[in-house]
Amino acid sequence: MHPAGVKDRRSGEHWGGRLYMREISLRITRLLVGTRITPNQLTYVMTLAGVLAAPALLVPGLTGAVLAVVAVQLYLLLDCVDGEVARWKKQYSLAGVYLDRVGAYLCDAAVLVGFGLRAADLWGSGRIDWLWAFLGTLAALGAILIKAETDLVGVARHQAGLPVVKDAAAEPRSSGMALARRAAAALKFHRLVLGIEASLLILVLAALDTVRGDLFFSRLGVAVLAGIALVQTLLHLVSILVSSRLR
């Protein structure tokens, strides 16, 4: 069984992990704890799986979207397994925490960059439209900045000699901002720029493109995700500044 609280953490645990992946990962972990495989080695493979979502999306048609989902789900599985193996073997390290964060950055960016290149129609018979590749890269940049804004809170507090921020400090001091934050959390539209959610959305859009016979829905999706990433980057920054996390 998982240690108490692992599946119920307010942050740091993806809904996919709580819903199904932790049950699968535990079986894989049982096979690995008796081997010489280290948590950091699993994290390297996890990162590679996430990055492979980008070239997978360059495969035309529904096949590429399915391969990308498989790559990202493998990333999620290994993201669960590396931590579980670390707990069972008691092999904790700052390098492991750092590599895990790097993997999360790269997976999100790979999915969105790959989506933009897919929408640009690299292998089509017509002219490549680099606008969509640019928008995909813009969405990836936004996704990375959102994560960086959160991580840099810890950096700022550490450099100021302050303790780790508490969950309660994340609540905005302004009642209006708190209401907006709760509304955004309820809608969860901002999660669409994360690699796991984005890969599932891309699969749905690829299916619609297959029916329509062009890339209309994928291109619409790239534009929407770029807009969400830009808006969320700004809103997330504001929410941090008006909360107690930097006090």
Residue-wise pLDDT for 143-186, tens only, equals 999 999 999 999 999 899 888 876 545 555 555 545 545 544 54
How far apart CA 11 and CA 85 sit, in angstroms, is: 20
What does pTM read for this prediction?
A: 0.86
pLDDT of 12 above 70: no
What's the mean pLDDT in 200-211? 98
pLDDT mean across residues, the chain? 87
pLDDT at position 181 is 52
Q: What is the pLDDT of residues 20-38, one digit of tens each?
A: 888 999 999 999 999 999 9
pLDDT of 241 above 80: yes
How far apart CA 247 and CA 243 sit, in angstroms, is: 8
